[in-house]
């Protein structure tokens, strides 16, 4: 469903598993920090709301969104969380840089998910304007960070249901 018709922060709390035994890593891009800091706040607070313990949430920062893929892989290897959430924001400009960064991060997270033992949650805003990003980072369309955290919790539960 298009975000314009769906608030990213609306969900049925009764469908969210208890996260008290789960460990998470959140990797946040410092580029467009006025947006990414709100995404991080949304993700962190949503994890806590659903039972995650602060000591089981590791937050790390990288310079830009392109670096999210490398950081997600490294943090998963070194801290062994149950899920990794990548949060970033790329806003379209006048050059093709937007397409390269968005494509690289998207493909990178897809590859991590295909090869990894933990879910890697794609929380990258790819918007045309700053206003669209504000709307999706706690504005009128909710917070993509909330959505990423809910996805992480649900995917950890999914993975646990199929543990070897």
Q: pLDDT at residue 133 above 60? A: yes
Residue 6 a catalytic site member: no
Q: pLDDT at residue 69 above 70? A: yes
CB atoms within 10 A of CB 81: 21
- Give me the residue spans of the domains in the chain: 20-161
For residue 16, name the pLDDT band (cuts at 50, 70, 90).
very high
Q: What is the pLDDT of residue 5?
A: 67
**Is residue 112 within 8 Å of 148, Cβ to Cβ?**
no
Mean pLDDT value across residues 136-163? 95
Q: What is the pLDDT of residue 83?
A: 98
Q: Which residue is catalytic, options 6, 97, 111, 140?
A: 97
**Is residue 113 within 8 Å of 120, Cβ to Cβ?**
yes
pLDDT higher at 60 or 96: 60
Question: What CATH code is assigned to 20-161?
Answer: 3.40.50.960
- Rounded to whole angstroms, the Cα distance separating 19 from 102 reads 30
**Is residue 73 within 8 Å of 112, Cβ to Cβ?**
yes
* Average pLDDT for the chain: 94
The torsion of the CA quartet 130, 103, 69, 119, rounded to 10 degrees, works out to 100
Q: What is the pLDDT of residue 1?
A: 42
């Amino acid at each position: 469903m298009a975000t314009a018709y769906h608030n990213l922060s609306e969900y049925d709390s009764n469908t969210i598993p208890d996260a008290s035994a789960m460990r998470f890593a959140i990797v946040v891009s410092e580029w467009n920090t006025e947006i990414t800091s709100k995404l991080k706040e949304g993700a962190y607070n949503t994890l806590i709301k659903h039972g995650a313990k602060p000591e089981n949430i590791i937050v790390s920062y990288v310079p830009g969104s392109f670096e999210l893929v490398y950081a997600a892989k490294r943090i998963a290897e070194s801290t062994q969380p149950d899920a990794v959430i990548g949060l970033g924001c790329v806003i379209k400009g006048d050059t093709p840089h937007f397409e390269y960064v968005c494509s690289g991060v998207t493909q990178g997270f897809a590859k991590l998910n295909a090869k990894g033992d933990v879910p890697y949650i794609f929380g990258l805003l790819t918007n045309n304007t700053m206003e669209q990003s504000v709307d999706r980072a706690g504005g009128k369309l909710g917070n993509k960070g909330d959505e990423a955290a809910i996805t992480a919790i649900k995917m950890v539960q999914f993975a646990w249901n199929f543990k070897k």
